[in-house]
Amino acid sequence: MTTPDSNMPISRQLRYERECRDKWKDNALKKQAKIREQVQAIRALKKSRDSWKAKAQLLKQRVLDLENQLQQQSDSSNSNSSDSPDSSRERVTFASGVLVSGRCPTTKSVPYLSLVASSTKSDRANSTV
């Protein structure tokens, strides 16, 4: 601003004021552009997050449906199976132990293999494979 006590010529003071104003405008425009970019990025991230959330909820519901189907199948197979839990197991003897195939003891529906180590040397000597 011009002051009566200033030793600077008025033309120089005006030039200085214009430069300050122009710098302020440039900085304000840069800030506004940055704000616009951030608002657009936030909008895109929110849209993406909502999309992923919907997909996750859909897949979670699908998992629950499949678990229910699996439970129903295992319930129906349990009612149709024989009373002996080991009736569906097969045993294959190896030098290192016995490979047992059957159903998972916890879920009763998922097939699995289990290697049971032989406890004595005579068991290993009598192994067939």
pTM of the model: 0.43
Question: Is residue 107 classed exposed, middle or buried when 0-12, 13-18 and 19+ CB atoms within 10 A define those classes?
Answer: exposed
Question: Could you give the CA distance from residue 20 to residue 15 in angstroms, rounded to a whole number?
Answer: 9
Q: Coil, strand, or helix at residue 98? A: strand
Q: What is the pLDDT of residue 129?
A: 45
Over residues 70-82, the pLDDT tens digits come to: 999 888 887 765 5
H helices of 81-128, where? 121-125
According to the model, what pLDDT value does residue 75 have?
86
More confident residue, 27 or 8: 27
Would the pLDDT of 9 be above 70?
A: yes
Most confident of the ranges 5-19, 35-49, 65-79: 35-49
- What is the rounded average pLDDT for all residues in the chain? 78
Determine contact, residues 23/31, Cβ cutoff 8 Å.
no
